[in-house]
Amino acid sequence: MLRVSIATPTGEIYSSDIDMILIKSSAGEYAILESHIPIVSTIDKGYVKLRTGDNEKFVAINSGVVEQSTNIVTVIAQEAAVADSLAEAEAKLEELHQSMIEENKRKARDFAISEKDLHQNIKKAKAGDLI
């Protein structure tokens, strides 16, 4: 039995006991079973597959590190999404990525607009310069 925990900057998104983890990155793929020697590897863009019995879970990952020692696997990813199939996980990750960018753009725009409003109002009220 392996213990796996997947952490992103927004917290731990998945944690469970599994039989096998398969790591796929652009450099190739390998799997970790119980009692593997301590290992570290990186994922630039790829996924990990978690198998427990017949049950499989996929986690699509952008920029991550996989570390295993004493049967505890830690996957650290800047962006990650969990789903039941690979296609689903990848779609979810892509959506997450896009929505983050969109959200960021929207907020930056909103901020610029309100900032402009504020400056105009200050000018109108003759309240002086705002640094």
Partner 1 sequence: MAASMKDIKARIDATRKTSQITKAMNMVSASKMKRAEKTITQFAVYMDKIEEVVSNITSSNGIDVDHPMLDKREVKKAAYVLVTSDRGLAGAYNSSVLKQFASDHKDFDHEAVVVTVGNKAHGYALSNNYKIINANSIHVKDDVTFHEVREICNKVVQMYMDGEIDKIVLYYNHYVNTLTQEVTKKTLLPIESKEVKQLSLYEFEGGAQSIIDNVLPMYVEDIVYGILLDAKASEHASRMTAMKSATDNALELIDTLQLYYNRARQASITLELTDIIGGANAVE
Tokens describing residue 48: 């990990």
The DSSP annotation for 88-129 comes to HHHHHHHHHHHHHHHHHHHHHHHHHHHHHHHHHHHHHTT---
CA distance linking residue 26 with residue 90, whole number of Å? 15
> Between residues 108 and 113, which has the closer beta carbon with respect to partner 1?
108
Binding mask 82-111 for partner 1 (x = CB under 8 A): ------------------xx-xx--xx--x
Binding mask 4-33 for partner 1 (x = CB under 8 A): ---xxxxxx--------------xx-x---
Per CB under 8 A, 69 contacts partner 1: yes
CA distance linking residue 68 with residue 2, whole number of Å? 9
Phi, psi of 85 (to 5 degrees): -130, 160
Per CB under 8 A, 37 contacts partner 1: yes
Contact residues toward partner 1 (CB under 8 A) are 7-12, 27-28, 30, 37-42, 44, 63, 65, 67, 69, 74, 76, 78-79, 100-101, 103-104, 107-108, 111, 131
